[in-house]
A and B are shown apart, each in its own frame.
Chain A
Amino acid sequence: MAEPVLIEARDVSRILPGPVPVTLVRDINLTVRRGEFIAIVGPSGSGKSSLLYLLGLLDAPTRGAVYLEGANTTELNREQQAQMRLTRLGFVFQFHFLLHEFTTLGNVTIPLRKRGGQNEIKIEQRARALLAELGMEEYADRLPEQLSGGQRQRVAVARALANNPAIILADEPTGNLDSKNAQQVFDIFKRLAEHNGQTVIVVTHEAHLARQTHRRIRLIDGRIAEDS
């Protein structure tokens, strides 16, 4: 039996207004199911990241609509979209974007504390468990500046997973990592998709990593050129 549809993009276009309008993506039709591990690939400027931001509700389409678990996200207000990002989505970016003043543990607890509903002890236990899962438990009390690039990215992944999101969106997560660390991060994503049933969508331009995913969507000039 087919897994349920989590994301659906219907005729989605994003055009930046201006004297000369710039089309980032156009007429995107896409369906993503639970547990899929997808790579979005394509040359620079093809609209990979733009599509990811549209799917992650960080940006809004100029035309068309993105449906998340059946809900038309264009009809949600900004607070509802923020709530959806908090509870259903997790982001990992090329640059780790950890909060410098907070420790590793502090960074991972932020989404949990924002969501609320748990006491401080439970929140810390959950954050430590995530760090342990990613091999970062012993670095819990360190500041981001005391970690290597690969370690920071693993903390960023732990933070993205904090609220156990259904969908993880990663924008060039290995762009700043050496091949060993890049492979480790990809292995984590693969495990999440295959063992946890979480949907992972990764933007990458590294072909050997993209080949490890279940499905590859190639974008050229903002359009889907290939979906295999």
Chain B
Amino acid sequence: MRLILDIAVTHLVHRKRQTLVSVLGVAMGVGFFIGMAAMMQGFQRYFVAKTIDVSPHIIIKDEYRTPPPQPVEQYYRAGAIRLLNVQPRDERRGIKNGMAVVDAIARQPDVAVAPTLAGQIFLRYGTKDVSATLYGIEPEKERRVTYLEQDLVAGSLNGLYTTANGIILGSGLADKVGAATGDTLSIISPAGVILKMKVVGVFRSGVTAKDNYESFALLKKAQILQDRANVVNQIRIRLRDINQAAALARSLETRYGYRTESWEETNKNVLGIFVIQNGIMYSTVSAILIVAAFGIFNIITTVIHEKERDIAILKSIGFEEGAIRGIFLLEGAVVGVVGTLIGWALGYGLTELLASVRFNVEGFVKTEGFVLYYTFRHYLIAGLFAMIASLVASYLPARKAAAVNPVDIIRGGA
């Protein structure tokens, strides 16, 4: 094995320029993969942490996915029935027996539940009128379902209990309206109710849509403001195992009939974008590695062409076909290993460089630079990709080398 490695390395060392180009090709593929993966997965994980992890895993809403079937349709299931101008019943909005549903769900293991009444409001402070969404919550239950308490940058969640008519604002919303903790605002609901509410906290989640448009008050206050006594229109659920969300959502929807969304369904569009993003990343890196593989194929094919005479003499000495094949496969492997090692260093440098870049972005989420995710898995995947590309690229010429007939070459002479 040592001899075969010596011969392989000697071949590569004597073709410094070609070897360098091949090694750099592999290194760039590996390095860019690590950099891109750190950046993309970093953003994805940050986004998930900021939007999905802090949000409830399941939300039951006071609406139906499909309109309830008409009695005639239920009775004549196979009948040719066409109903025209069906008017939906003017129901009182809200989840029927909402608190009983909350209690029933709360009895399941590894589940935290919080009732909510969500509705539109106007905040008036001085000359400013700003529209927002107000969530009526029960703080004791809310703190087990969302990260609102952790996101507070001023005040406290308990302030809702200790202050009459307390309200918590998103940081963007507070800026827009120009209010801070301790200020009293006028809150106007579409039902025409006006309440004076005191700001008892400001939260910053990093998700622009939340920070700019959301506010929280006690459930009872929200019900008064919306003139919907004892009504909840959302039930928010958090699970110990996030992967159970889809199954539980389906079962709850079947049981209660209300539209029940798991976090996957709520964020379907974004998760779809992540799949496309990952696809682009893997395609780009694969393209780089394919080019690198062609480089390896080229160098080994050239070496074999130039070294046919040596292959013949090695065979006459007693090298088996497997040993000859091994020499050229090892050449590919050496290029792959050296390229991977350099690529790892390049990838590490690239991620450090990206981490040092500072800029402010406020879109879906707010960041002050690239959010990077460091993991050995990226290094392993990149190395594995590179080694497979290198070995595949060297296998075909290696097989050709092993098949060289020494007599044909020796007869040809010098």
Contact = CB atoms under 8 A, between A and B. Distances in A.
Q: Does A associate with B in a complex? A: yes
Interface of A: 49, 53, 56, 58-59, 78-79, 82-87, 89, 91, 93-95, 97, 99-102, 110-111, 113-115, 159, 171
A144 to B, nearest CB: 11
Contacts of B3: 110, 113-114
A115 B317 CA distance: 10
Contacts of B399: none
Contacts of B11: 101
Contacts of B119: none
B79 interface: no
Of B318, B321, B323, B411, most buried by chain A (CB within 10 Å of CB) is B318
A102 B14 CA distance: 11
B309 interface: yes
B407 A53 contact: yes
A14 B222 CA distance: 101
B313 interface: yes
A41 B321 CA distance: 32
B50 interface: no
Contacts of B244: none
Nearest to B322: A79
B318 A111 contact: yes
Given A93-B410, A101-B10, A101-B11, A56 B317 contact: no
Of A83, A89, A101, most buried by chain B (CB within 10 Å of CB) is A101
A114 B5 CA distance: 12
B82 interface: no
B104 interface: no
Contacts of A114: 3, 317-319, 323
A86 B318 contact: yes
Interface residues of B, number: 27
Contact of B317 (A85, A94, A102): A85
Contact of A85 (B2, B7, B310, B318): B318
Contact of B316 (A49, A58, A83, A100): A58
Given A87-B318, A101-B13, A114-B318, 7 more contacts: A59-B407, A78-B321, A79-B322, A85-B318, A86-B317, A91-B313, A100-B310
Contacts of B10: 101-102
Contacts of A95: 413-414
B313 A82 contact: no
B407 A79 contact: no
Contacts of B315: 58, 82, 85
Contacts of B411: 49
14 contacts: A49-B411, A78-B320, A78-B321, A87-B318, A89-B318, A95-B413, A95-B414, A97-B309, A97-B310, A97-B313, A101-B10, A111-B317, A111-B318, A114-B317
B312 interface: yes
Of B309, B317, B320, most buried by chain A (CB within 10 Å of CB) is B317
A134 B318 CA distance: 23
A56 B318 contact: no
Contacts of A102: 10
A21 B317 CA distance: 29
A91 B413 contact: no
B159 interface: no
B14 A101 contact: yes
A59 B411 CA distance: 12
B3 to A, nearest CB: 4
Contacts of B413: 94-95
Contact of A99 (B13, B310, B414): B310
Nearest to B414: A95
B98 interface: no
A58 B318 CA distance: 10
Nearest to A172: B413
A158 to B, nearest CB: 13
B257 interface: no
Sorted nearest first, the 6 A-B pairs with minimum C-beta distance are A86-B318, A97-B313, A85-B318, A113-B3, A95-B414, A82-B320
Nearest to B318: A86
B155 interface: no
Contacts of B42: none
A78 B315 CA distance: 11
Contacts of B314: 110
A85 B406 CA distance: 13
Nearest to B316: A91
Contacts of B317: 85-86, 91, 110-111, 114, 159
Interface in B269-323: 309-310, 312-323
Interface in B369-414: 406-407, 410-411, 413-414
B316 A56 contact: yes
B182 to A, nearest CB: 82
A113 B323 CA distance: 13
Nearest to A87: B318
Nearest to B9: A101
Interface in B1-39: 2-3, 7, 10-11, 13-14
Contacts of A100: 310
Contacts of A93: 313, 316, 410
A82 B318 contact: yes
Contacts of A49: 411
Contact of B2 (A111, A113, A159): A113
Nearest to A97: B313
A85 B321 contact: no
Contact of A58 (B2, B7, B320, B407): B407
Given A94-B413, A101-B11, A83 B318 contact: yes
Contacts of A59: 407
A94 B315 CA distance: 17
Contacts of A86: 317-319
A89 B7 CA distance: 22
A8 to B, nearest CB: 21
A159 B316 CA distance: 11
